[in-house]
Amino acid sequence: MIVLILVATLFVGGAIAWASEALDARMPRVVALLSLLVSAVLLLVFSLNSGPDVGSPGGQWWILASWSWIPRFGIALLVGVDGLSLLLLLLTIFLGLIALGAAWDEIKERVGFFYFNLLWTIAGVVGVFTALDLFLFFFFWEVMLIPMYLIIAIWGHENRAYAAMKFFLYTQVSGLFLLMAILSMSYLHYVQFARFSFDYFDLQNIALVGSLQTWIMLGFFVGFATKLPIFGLHSWLPDAHSQAPTAGSVLLAGVLLKTGAYGLIRFAVPLFPEASDSFSSVAMTIAALGILYCAKVAFAQQDIKRLIAYTSVSHMGFVLLGIYAWNLYGLQGAVMTMLAHGLSSAALFMLAGGLQSRFHTRDMRQLNGLWAKLPMLSAMALFFSVAAVGMPGLGNFIGEFLSLLGAFQSNPVATIFAALGLVLAAVYSLWVIQKVLHGSLQVPNEYSNAADLSLVEILCYALMALGLVWMGMYPQSFLDVSEASLLYLQSLSGGAA
C-alpha cells in the first residue's frame, strides 16, 4: 500500500536520521536524502503505472483502502489517492528534497533532530493529503504542525521564540475549531444512523439544514483558512517566515499553506454545499481584499522575507477565489496556483535565505547592485520574481488566469478588484528587482567576499524553474490529472458553491 509505505518511510527515516547523529554529524542529512529519494521513486512509479479505478466512488480514486482502527467510535485507517491528492503528494516530496538542499550547509547544530522534524513534517503532510477518515486526518494535521513549530523555535533567527509561539497559537486555536466541527459531524452521524463514523463517504450522507450546517461549515473554514491563510487570519505568517530557517520557509510556503486550500476543496465545500453557496460571496470578497491589502503591505517591507511572506498571502487569495467560484475553471486555477506558487515561493524564500547566509542581513536597504557580484543568484531571483507575478509561459500565469476566469463567472465584482492585484504584484516585484539587483554595488563590507550559487543551489533552482516552465507550456498534463477529482467534488455539492 503506497500511502502507508510513504508515511512509514518518512517516519522511520526521521527516527534513523536523529539516531545516526551519534555516529557522524553528516549522517542525518544522508539518511534524510535517502528517505526522500525512496519516497520520490515510489511515488513516481505509482503515478506512472496506475490510474483511476472506475469501480471506486465517482470512478476517480487511484487507491482507496481501509483498515479498522477504533471500531467502537467508527474510526478507521481510511486512505485514498485521487488526481488532486497525487499532484499535491508529488509537490510535497519534491519540495521536501528542495528543503533538504536548502538545509544541507545551513544547519550545523542538533542536525539529527532537525532532519527528524523535517521528515516528520513531510510525513504529516502526506497523511493530510491522503486521509479520508476525519479523525485520522486531524491526527496528521497535528503531526505536521508540531515539528514545524520546533523547526522555527530551535533553528530560527533572532526572534524565533515569538514567531514560533504565534504560529503555534494560531494553528492550534483554529485547529480546535476544526476538531469541534469534525466531532459534531460524527455525533450527527450517530444521531441519524445510530453509529459514530468519521468516514468521509459516510459523512456525505448526513442531512444538515439551516444554521447548523452553517456553523459546522464555519468550523471547517476557520481551521483551513487560517492555514491558507486568508486576510484577517494571516498575521502569523510573516513572523513565521522571517524567523524560520530557509528549509522551514520552503516547506511552510511551498507545502503547509496548501493543506489549508486542500481542506477547503476536499471537505469544507463538498460536505456543506448549501452553506458554502451562501458563504461564497463573503469568501470571494475576503479573497479580493487579501490580494489587494497584502500586495500593498508588501511595499512597506524592508525585510525581504517578510515581503515575500506578504506576497504569498496575496497569491493565496487567488486560490480562495478559485475555490469558492466552485466551477471547473476556478478549481483548476486554484490547483494550478497551488502547484506553481509552491515552486516559485519556495525558490524565493530559498533565495532570501541564501542572501541572509551570505550577507547576514535581510534588510534590503543594505543590499544593492547584486547582479555585478552574484550574477547567477541574481538571474534566478529575476526568473522566479517574474514567475511569481504571472509571466505568460510559466505556471503561475496559468493558475491565476484560470482562477480569475472561473471567478468572473461567479462574482464579477470581486474578480475585477482581485485582478488589480496582478498590477500591484508587477510593481512591487520590479521595485525589489531594481533595488536589490541593479544600481551600484552595496553590501556589508565584512561579507564582501560572498560566493555565488553552489552546485546544490543551482540544481535546486534549475529543477524548480523546469517545473514552472513545464506547467506554463504544457498545463494540460496537470489539468488532466486533477479534472476527474474536481468534477467528482463538484458533483457532491450539486456542481456549485
Residue 319 lies in a domain: yes
- Judged against a pLDDT cut of 90, whether residue 169 lies above it is answered with yes
Tell me the three cell numbers of residue 57: 466512488
Residue 46 pLDDT level (bands cut at 50, 70, 90): very high
What whole-number distance in Å separates Cα of residue 425 and Cα of residue 441?
A: 25
In a domain, 335, yes or no: yes
Residue 31 in 3-state DSSP?
helix
Q: What is the mean pLDDT of residues 484-492?
A: 91
How many angstroms separate the Cα of 335 from the Cα of each of 274, 369, 389, 431? 23, 36, 17, 29
Rg of the Cα trace of the chain?
22
Q: Is 167 inside a domain boundary?
A: no
Please check whether residue 492 lies inside any domain of the structure: yes
pLDDT at res. 447: 61
Going by C-alpha positions, the residue among 300, 318, 460 that lies closest to residue 388 is: 318
pLDDT in tens, 71-121: 999 999 999 999 999 999 999 999 999 999 999 888 888 989 999 999 999
The candidate with the shortest Cα–Cα distance to 58, out of 204, 196, 167, 248, is 204
- pLDDT tens sequence across 316-346: 999 999 999 999 999 999 999 999 999 999 9
Residue, of 191 and 495, whose pLDDT is higher:
191
Q: With a cut of 80, say whether residue 54 has pLDDT above it.
A: no
- At 3-35, the pLDDT tens digits run 899 999 999 999 999 999 888 888 999 999 999
Q: Which of 206, 182, 209, 178 is nearest to 194 (CA)?
A: 206
Tally of structural domains, the chain: 1
Q: State the chain's mean pLDDT as an integer.
A: 91
Model pLDDT for residues 395-416, shown as the tens digit of each residue: 999 999 999 999 999 999 999 9
**CA dist., res. 276 & res. 497, Å (int):** 5
**pLDDT tens readout for residues 347-366:** 999 999 988 888 888 888 88
CB under 8 A, 24+ apart: contacts of 203-206: 203/134, 203/271, 204/270, 204/271, 204/492
> 137 lies in a domain?
no
pLDDT number for residue 439: 77
What is the model's pLDDT at position 359? 85
pLDDT band at 495 (very low <50, low <70, confident <90, very high): low
- Residue 69 counted as domain residue: no
Question: Could you write out the three-class secondary structure of 43-98?
Answer: HHHHHHHCCCECCCHHHCEEEEEEEEEEHHHCEEEEEEEEHHHHHHHHHHHHHHHH
pTM equals 0.94
Task: Give one DSSP letter per residue of 262-278, joined into a string.
Answer: HHIIIIITTTSHHHHHH
Q: Which pLDDT does position 213 carry in this prediction?
A: 92
Q: Does residue 347 lie in a domain region? A: yes
* pLDDT at 219 exceeding the cut of 80: yes
Q: Is the pLDDT of residue 497 over 60?
A: no
pLDDT score, position 362: 85
CB 250, CB 305: distance < 8 Å: no
Q: Is the predicted pLDDT of residue 300 greater than 90, yes or no?
A: no
pLDDT tens sequence across 422-433: 888 888 888 888
Parent domain of 435: 282-497
Stretch (H or E) spanning 421: helix 412-432
Average pLDDT over residues 202-225: 92
Q: Which amino acid, 258?
A: K
Contact 128, 137 (CB under 8 A): yes
pLDDT of 204 above 70: yes
Is the pLDDT assigned to residue 493 strictly greater than 80?
Answer: no
- Looking at residue 471, its pLDDT comes to 95
**pLDDT band at residue 134 under the 50/70/90 scheme:** very high
Residue 349: inside a domain, yes or no?
A: yes
User: How distant, in Å, are the alpha carbons of 89, 196, 250, 463 from that of 119?
Assistant: 14, 33, 13, 21
